[in-house]
Structure 1
């Protein structure tokens, strides 16, 4: 008797045609309206189609007290010396070229101008550091110096943890502190200091992350 021959079945190959371009999500009229408004208010942000800003986190003015206060003090001292230079010359019996108030005025005014410029740079860099929460991501605008600027964008789906810290009684009384974000995978940590009302911003951010990951609309 001949043994039965097993027939080998060939695997079935199914070819699935994919569209050349993925279908774009359907955006509501409200989302498009808010997207256009965000582009008008924040033209420097690189927003994707349908992405809009939910909140703009700015720094607390307490961080400017030291640089602006010190600069104001130095300018006040310099101007006081300039306007009372005649009395200073007589009191300390200054002779020679330094006895001329006109000759001393130029370096004093140069000192005042340098301090004023430094105060402007401090204010510009400090206030230009911003943190934006959108319905899709977190965008951090980092102003390193007067002519150096960076932008960091993190998708809400990649945020693993968001928290805030307040150290000392002054931060709690004036309601400012630091916020911290950590991402999945590369475990990158993002920090933003001197945030006004950090607890409110972190609560809004955590709600946005939860809604985004669960496929729900991200509300304010």
Structure 2
């Protein structure tokens, strides 16, 4: 008596039936089931839907921060400060930069009113005596006009020089950049984006008068910002680094904190 195996595997290469046209029909193997480990691996992640308020929640601002914010708005009315933001340090350029500006103006005066007459006297002896009264008057007016232009140039250069400012707040760094009277822009960098802050002093003059340049580098786009002629640059960098560290760690920024 022949015994038939009940567990004989199915041969999926053999037809199991035929249709009306005589074409063979084949059975398909069952699709493998995904294991629970695959589900845990994230092939079928759980989707969670969360709602967000239509308006951002109001940030709590302490009474002290409000007072500092109001004081900063009064002291710097042209500065764009957000609610609760206040100025920790306002950095202006060192006055020594003005010395170089007015030294150039003085040199122009000396060259025009002393050097030029001496040069003309050597090249053209008796030239001044040969001029008529009207020619001398016109020459005097011309020299006076040059003197006025030199002085106005010094005033404009002073205004532009002092227009460059650097503000450290409890949230950001704001830099006012002025190239000339008709060119001015403002750059704002969040303390979160500041990756490195350093200062530099070169030479005996900068060391004696305690001024130098600040350098900031940001994360992501790796942009570098520089501010020159900074008085006491080490103190300013210490304040900036402390503010950045406190802001990134979620601590209140203390304007009186220094290394």
**TM-score class normalised by the smaller sequence:** 0.7 to 0.9
| Larger gyration radius, structure 1 or structure 2 | 2
Correspondence list, 1:1-220, <5 A: 15-76=49-110, 78=112, 92-94=125-127, 95-97=130-132, 100-220=135-255
Q: Distance in 2 between matches of 1:14 and 1:185?
A: 30
Alpha-carbon spacing, 1:17–1:105, altered in 2? closer, same or farther (3 Å): same
Alpha-carbon spacing, 1:66–1:15, altered in 2? closer, same or farther (3 Å): closer
Structure number with greater CO (CA < 8 Å, separation at least 6) is 1
Q: Distance in 2 between matches of 1:63 and 1:104?
A: 33
Structure 1 spans left out of the alignment, 5+ residues: 1-5
Q: Distance in 1 between matches of 2:45 and 2:89?
A: 55
Answer whether contact 1:59 1:130 (CA < 8 A) is retained.
yes
Q: Distance in 1 between matches of 2:225 and 2:207?
A: 22
CA shift, 1:40, in A, is: 1.2
CA shift, 1:96, in A, is: 3.5
Alpha-carbon spacing, 1:208–1:12, altered in 2? closer, same or farther (3 Å): closer
Structure 2 spans left out of the alignment, 5+ residues: 1-32, 34-43
- 110-119 vs 98-107, greater mean Cα deviation: 98-107
Alpha-carbon spacing, 1:17–1:99, altered in 2? closer, same or farther (3 Å): closer
Q: Deviations over 1:24-66 (max 9, x none)?
A: 2100111111111111111111111111100001111111222
Q: Distance in 1 between matches of 2:102 and 2:46?
A: 75
Match of 1:3 in 2: none
CA shift, 1:182, in A, is: 0.1
Alpha-carbon spacing, 1:13–1:133, altered in 2? closer, same or farther (3 Å): closer
Q: Distance in 2 between matches of 1:11 and 1:208?
A: 40
Q: Distance in 2 between matches of 1:184 and 1:14?
A: 31
